[in-house]
Structure 1
Amino acid sequence: MSGIDKSAAEAEVVRNKQLLLKDHVIGFPKESDFIISTENAISLNVPENSKGVLLKNLYLSCDPYFRALMIKPDHSIKTPFPAFTPGLPLYGYGVAKVLDSEHQNFKKGDLVWGTTGWEEYTLTTQTNSLFKVENTNVHLSYYVGILGLAGITAYGGFFDVCHPKKREKVFVSAAAGAVGQLVGQFAKLTGCYVVGSAGSKEKVDHLKNKFRFDDAFNYKEEDDLDAALKRYFPEGIDIYFENFGGKMLDAVLQNMNMNGRISVCGMISQYNLEKTEGVHNLMWLFYKRITMRGFSAFEFYHLFPKFAEFVLPHIQENRLIYVEDIAEGMESGPSALVGLFSGRNVGKQLVFVARE
């Protein structure tokens, strides 16, 4: 197969560059935990009557939940996604072009988003996790961000879980990330007062100047998070969108108002710890009648039409700003993934694989 060149128009089989997990990961992921492989060959023709779809991947999404899929699976714990298998490509959300299809719902040339492999080409029969790109007047990359998983996560987690009201006080942790930047802007569109926390001066500047948060602070510069929250929320917090966990959650619980709501989206500070930090202020849940609820984006998929109707006009009229951190090429995948867990990215982290 070494003489086969994917640039040859007549070629039916090509080398398929893939990003593989080397082995299960303990502690912080390292670039050496991943392998770039060109050993796999793939046919560019879908087998007849297979109902398969062949995708050319264009953008791949880096997401914090990947960390939970890198560990050795614990079959006593049910997770939305199966764990990554060492020696096989990672998988996640992406935007792709249909190169060939034996499925009635997809035809050659269609642009789609949904679950795909971390590879140049993916042959799949799992078409229930693929969605056609309905609006090509926006950046295709938005379908792994503001118009994809990050968008519906922010929309459902904020509106469906928190039920915000005008003039309420909203706090968002890890606010410069793919989801947090949207939650803060949704809060502003609702008429709320919103403050975000992030881990660098650059990100704090983005929150205040680009995303139009009312205020923001660098949690790494705060010796006392409880005091910091009292400074930014002298009247208390009505809604907390939780992306961080640990000491931040502990401090927030003390500063919530009566009947406050906490939407638990993630806990990025805890993912790489062998033993997670304890939370000591849970008694505030009943002292102040606080509702704290975790959620999965999957439970909001039925809201996609309503979500798109809400978000698209705001994008087109520049009332919603979305920042992306785009790494170029499959080779940049390990660095992009590792950087996600050290807070290196600003905005939504994704990998650009190929043009249409």
Structure 2
Amino acid sequence: MSDEGSETITTLPFPPVTAAHILNCSFHSWHPLFRPLTPKARLIPLSPPFLEYLRADGILLPPDNSPNDADSGFEDEEEEDPSEPWSDIHERIRSTIYELGGKVVPKLNWSAPKDATWMATTNDMECRTPNDIYLLLKSSDFVTHDLEQAFDGCIDQAEIPYHLVLRKSFNLNPSLEFRCFVRKRKLIAISQREMNYFEFLFELRQSFKAKIQDFLERLSDFPDANFVFDVYIPPPHDRVWLIDINPWAPRTDPLLFSWLEILQIPEPEKDTIFDPEFRLVQRDDPEAYQFATTKYSAHKLPKEVVDASMAPSEMKNMMEEWKRVMEKQVDEDSEDSEDSVT
């Protein structure tokens, strides 16, 4: 008996992923091509000393130089300043934050430190100082992947011109972000990015699809035929903004699709109108009620523990405070037990 048609697929049928493709999807590569289509951003080339700082263990931040420090009358011990070898970058980051209105959102070539927002006092990626940026970058597994594993799964390697991207911060409604899959320069699938149910999106789906299909024509200068791009369509929904371009590779999250589904979509016939599927989270989907779910929880530790780990004396103080809390709890439990008996 023939087994034709019953073979089990054990690997995804991706074309070979090249280092050139990964580099084409780096922000520093595509931003000059599509700058008018994307929210305001500035790029800062990163030097080897700064990259060494990002890769180093621990989180040592440059001292905060308050204008009133010299007049305070107190002489503090001189603090170690890790930014001395890259002081030019430190100052450029400071001036860029000011240029972009005092609040920016950082990322490296490919990844934003979304998994490290638990380290920020604001619990988001909005940064007001250089140290806010360094704290997020050095706490992020996503950024570490950019630094150490950018060409994982590729058939070759290449040099990476690392850049820090600082985007002007703005109020972004995540329900209006969408991921778009392009194969042989044709849009074949669209997925909602925020994994929650939004009823209003279903009325807008067809108009959004048409806008995204028209928008793809403006990306014709992208050098690769296969890629994935993210867009944002804010009210009044009359303009599409390019947020990111991602590799056509397993590392890119297919969201409401699986990569196997996407790779097996029949190739659109030449000179025919192809209607890409646009998936939204349905009311009854398991993903539909994720509002209380904490994202990137696998990357997190309590901030107090991380802070304490940076200084042995702080760790000791934290442990002593924890011991006092536990002893107090034991005493209270004991008193409650005695009261309940009497």
- Fold shared, TM-score > 0.5 on shorter chain: no
Q: TM-score range by the shorter chain?
A: under 0.3
TM-score using structure 1 length: 0.24
TM-score, normalisation: structure 2: 0.25
Name the structure with the higher helix share. Answer: 2
The structure with the largest strand share of the pair is 1
